[in-house]
Structures are given as structure tokens and as C-alpha cells.
Structure 1
Amino acid sequence: MKVYYCGREDCEKGHFFGPAVRSHQLIHFVLKGKGIYRTEYGEYEIKEGEAFLIRPGEVTYYRADLEEPWSYAWIAFDGDEAETLLERYYPDRRLPVCAMGETAAVSGWFEGLLGSFGSAEENRERVLGYFYLIMACLLRTGKGGVPVDEEGYFKRAVAFIRHNYSYPIQVSEIADYVGIDRTYLYRIFMRQAGVSPKQYLNRYRLEEAKEMLVQTEYRITEIAYSCGYHDSSSFCRHFQKETKTAPARYRRLNCYKKTEKMGENCGKNH
């Protein structure tokens, strides 16, 4: 993969380019405002949070809106991996528009890319690093142009929670790991799980805590830290709010039920 050039511009009203052809793959990421993009397949209205692809050799034209002109950043690239990469996001040549999962992150990464690309000691690995971070913000589309990664994002976020719930992780860290912004992550969780990422994380921690209370003899403080709480009082407060009972009492009640059912000794309350 080779990045040839990149840039950023706040366009004037009605600013246009073309009709013209380009020699490399070129993607414009619309960070604010809107405009139109025209190819041989039709005309497309592009708005903030979308990115349009210009393929090499295609005659294209684009123009900023007359009322809300766009601000965009662009990146030109090519190489053996280019087509494989673009197939994920632009599988249909008739649909050269793709959604972005996080506009703010793209804007920040472009700042890093522009700084790295224009430096006296240009670092190819750093340039490519920013390039892949930016590309990872695009939402993979199907033949109908509909994002199909939502379930994948959700599963990736849940896996991150499952492996890291014992640490004091934040929702922003989950979003960063998945590669989308926290607003989009919130919408995904509300659609997929019916709760926010923060609620899901808290409930996951409490479910793990319940299991540890009944199945182990660890102290309440040890369980609290093991489930990502910074102290036992915070853990007890969350636990009681969710279950309407204190952790120690929950342990006694459920150990008693377990003993009755299985006829086994249960761990002492600590």
C-alpha cells in the first residue's frame, strides 16, 4: 500500500472540481456540511459523516453545497492491497458513497497523517498507521450500500468487555478498541441489547460477581476488585441497587439454596 498525497479543506460555497480523472484511488471524507458528487453512474448527495470514492480513470465532478459547503479531508493511495481493501467498503461501483462511524476520530487522525506526511523525516510506517486507522472508521457495506458491520461491532465490544471487565475500563476505551465513536457504539448497544454500553458493562460485572459470591469463598473486597470496582463500598452500592440486596446477604441466601439443592457445603461469608 502506498499513500501518494493527502489534504484538508474548508470549501467556499459552490466550490467545485471537475469533470476530471484521477490516477490513484482517492477518498474524500466529509467532516462537516454537504455537497454533491457525480459519476457516470449518477449524482449523489453527500453529507457530514460520509466518504466518497474516486476511482482512477473515472470521470467525476463534485461541488460544495450553496448553503452549507462541506469541509473535507482526502487521501490518495494505491497498491496491491487497495482493491481488496476497497471491496469491503465499496463493493458496488454504482454506490461510491460509504458511511463513517466516527467523524471526530477521522478528523484527529488526519491531523496526525498530515503532520507525518509533510515532515522532513517522513515515516512510512506512521503514515500507513494513520491511513489504516482512518480506513477502519468506514462502515463496511453490502451490495445495497447498507452497513453490515453493526453486529460485528457489537460482538467485538462484548468480547472486549468479557476479557477486560475486571479492569477499570471506560466506554471510550471500548469504542476505541472497536474502532467507532462512543455515540455510534451507544446506538448499536441500544439496538442489539436494549441497554447502553455502560449499563451492559455494569450488568456483566454484577453477573460475574454473583457467580463468584456463590461459587467461591473469596472475600467481598476481593470480588469487588476482581470485577472492576475500585473499592468494596462502590461495589456494594452498585450490587444493592441492581439486586435489591447486599452482596453478603445474596451469598448467604444463594449458598443456602445451593446447599439445599445439592446437599453440599458452601463457602463461608467473608
Structure 2
Amino acid sequence: MAGLQHGAVAFRFKQDPVSELAQLWSVGWDLQTSPIYSWSGTERKDLGKIIFQVTLSGYGDVQIDGKTHRVHPGQAFVVKSPSNYRYYLPETSEKWEFMYITLYGKEADRCYEHIREKTNQVIRFHPESVPVKLVKQIFDEANSKNVTSAYKGSSLAYQFIMELYEYVSEMDREMDEWPESVVSAVLFARQSYQNPIGPDEMADASGLSRYHFTRIFKKETGFTPIQYLTNIRISKAIELLAHTKYTTEEIAALVGYTNANYLNKVCRKVTGKSPGELRKEKTEWQSDKFLQE
């Protein structure tokens, strides 16, 4: 489970009243390295579907109504089939890693039209934005085979649509955009925290030297890379402690720590409490409570 990344899950629920409102069609995490990768909005067979695709690393191109947009890490596009679009890996790009979610239903259509009115359909997302985190959550739920009914699928689809509405309406008041190097590192950390990564790997994801990256990251976010990564891991550990029956040893592995003893040490340093105490209290950890060194 800890090493699971790329893959896709398709949902084929029987038609149901909840599906008419909002429903999942597919969710996935993909890495493309060949320029033959290309999808056309006039040739696809999955008609009436809304596609949201956010770049994690590398870049791709999307053509919408004849205009080409380069989609870098932290940027997403929203399109509907059938319509005049094409997205592909350009020959100048070595890779394009992205997550996507495909939706349908009346609310999905309404949200798509709202996005067309407010944007050019290519949107810059802050790495901490709820829609980006929610796509990963839905992907994890699907891979864990927890989306087993049309009702659960519709609930997740509707939640994503509402978060997308809110994000688009608040875009002008979002915090200052971070440089692409910082966005790339944060997206990498958020998607790979369960693996044995640290500041060196975050620096590699940013495309900068370790020294330059650390200086820029601290300047832009107010935290060191290890503080930021630690918060992600501890937040996830507390969520698992509160809502699952995994052992502390299992949770340590799921959030990227070598063993339960190390998780215990970090938990005490960050929160002042042991994993057992946090589980008993079902503590909710706020994202602004970062470890300070």
C-alpha cells in the first residue's frame, strides 16, 4: 500500500437518482513519457463527462478552442467531452505526471459552465488547496475499495464539485502564489510522504540545488522542508489514529517512518503527546501547527 502510486479506477454504478446529480466516472494517477500520448475531446467515447486533471511533475500541453496552454506542476485544466480540446505530452517534455478525476451529472455540468465563465479552463492551484488534496483522497478511497455504492460515489463527486466552486470563487483572495519550484516540491511531498523521502528528494523535485531550494522554500512558506514534510506525516498519522484500527507500527509505515518508536518520538516533539494519547483523544491536527526547530 505504501508504494502504491500510479493506477486508475473506473466506476460503473447502475443509474440511480443520486447519479443524475453528481457521480464519479473514473479517478487516476498517471505518468506519461511518450509523445504519442494524446486525447481529443472530439474523438472520445465517454461523452458527457467532465475531466479535471492536475499536474504533479513535468508538464503537458492542452489545446482548448484552438489556444494552447502549457500545464505545469500545480496547474489543472477542466474540460468536457465532447468539445474542442486536446491534451498531450509535447516533444519538449520528458514526462507528465498528473492526477485526474472524471465526473458526470447535472451539478458537474453546472460547475463546468461556471468555470468556463470565470476562467480560461486552466487554473493554478495552491498545493494546500482542498480540491487537489481531495483528488488524492478519492484516489486512495477507490484503491482501498471503499467506494462500493452509487451513494458513496455521488457523495464524493458532489463534495469535489462544491470545493471546486469555492476555490474558483476565492481565487482572487488566495495567498500569493509560490514559485513553481516550491509548488513542485510541495506537490511531491504531499503525494510521496509515505515513501522514504526527505529534503534532498524535495530539492530534486524542485529542480534546484539543496542550498538554493532550502533558502527559497523557507522564504516562501515560512518553514523548512523537513518541518513541512513532518507536518504532512503527523497530520496523516493523527487522521489514521483517529479513524482506523491500524497499529502504531502499521501507521508509522503508512506515513513514511521506519518504525513505531520513531513515530512516537516525532509525535511527542510535535504535539507533546504519544500516538496512544492522540488516538484516545481523537485529536484533530490543524494544518498551521508546524513543528518549529
Relative contact order higher in (CA < 8 Å, ≥ 6 apart): 2
TM-score (norm 2): 0.42
TM-score (normalizing by structure 1):
0.45
